[in-house]
């Protein structure tokens, strides 16, 4: 796809976001299974359900705009997921692995916060106010997930991993 206009860039971003969410739908159950902290496990399971909604939201946006969002791979998330898989393979189930999983999950959240923030700005610039509002909802969910991971790390996991 040639990126010759902001519309092209925005459609490419939607494809990237769709691919990222799809990859995370596959990765989150593995992360939940690897977690030893019940609170962390439940956070991953809850975020899986939210991620499925986010995936549907991007699909709906693509349909509304007449943009095909499938058939693309988000290489950024692919690399972050690969790092997370390596952590799960190399780690021993317990608090240290939980701390590493939180770090991996936060890398994902930070990537998504940046990507959705850009998509919101581009949607607004293109005059897609309703689309921007939907993307902003996802951006807010990603920020909330990041805050929840920080809370889990600081309230228990990091202290247990240090011991």
110 in a structural domain: yes
What is the per-residue pLDDT across 82-124, written as a single tens digit (0 to 9) for each?
999 999 998 889 999 999 999 999 999 999 999 999 999 999 9
Say which CATH number the domain at 84 has: 1.20.1260.10
- How far is the C-alpha of 19 from the C-alpha of 104, rounded, in Å? 18
The model's confidence at residue 1, banded by pLDDT at 50, 70 and 90, is low
152 in a structural domain: yes
Number of domains the chain contains: 1
Distances (CA, A) of 8 to 13, 90, 113, 130: 9, 40, 21, 19
Which domain does 73 fall in, by range?
A: 6-162
pLDDT for 132 equals: 98
**Mean pLDDT within 34-52:** 97
pLDDT for 78 equals: 97
pLDDT for 92 equals: 87
Q: Is the pTM of this model over 0.75?
A: yes
What is the per-residue pLDDT across 49-58, written as a single tens digit (0 to 9) for each?
999 999 999 9
1 in a structural domain: no
70 in a structural domain: yes
23 in a structural domain: yes
């Amino acid at each position: 796809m040639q990126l010759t206009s902001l519309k092209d860039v925005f459609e490419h971003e939607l494809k990237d976001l769709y691919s990222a969410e799809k990859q995370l739908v596959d990765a989150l159950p593995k992360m939940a299974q690897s977690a030893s902290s019940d609170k962390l496990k439940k956070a991953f399971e809850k975020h899986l359900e939210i991620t499925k909604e986010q995936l549907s939201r991007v699909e709906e946006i693509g349909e509304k705009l007449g943009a095909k969002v499938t058939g693309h791979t988000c290489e950024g998330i692919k690399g972050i997921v690969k790092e997370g898989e390596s952590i799960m393979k190399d780690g021993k189930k317990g608090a240290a692995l939980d701390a590493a999983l939180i770090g991996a999950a936060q890398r994902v959240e930070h990537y998504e916060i940046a990507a959705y923030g850009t998509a919101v700005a581009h949607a607004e610039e293109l005059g897609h106010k309703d689309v921007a509002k939907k993307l902003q909802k996802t951006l807010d969910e990603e920020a909330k997930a990041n805050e929840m991971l920080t809370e889990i790390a600081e309230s228990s996991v990091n202290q247990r991993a240090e011991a």
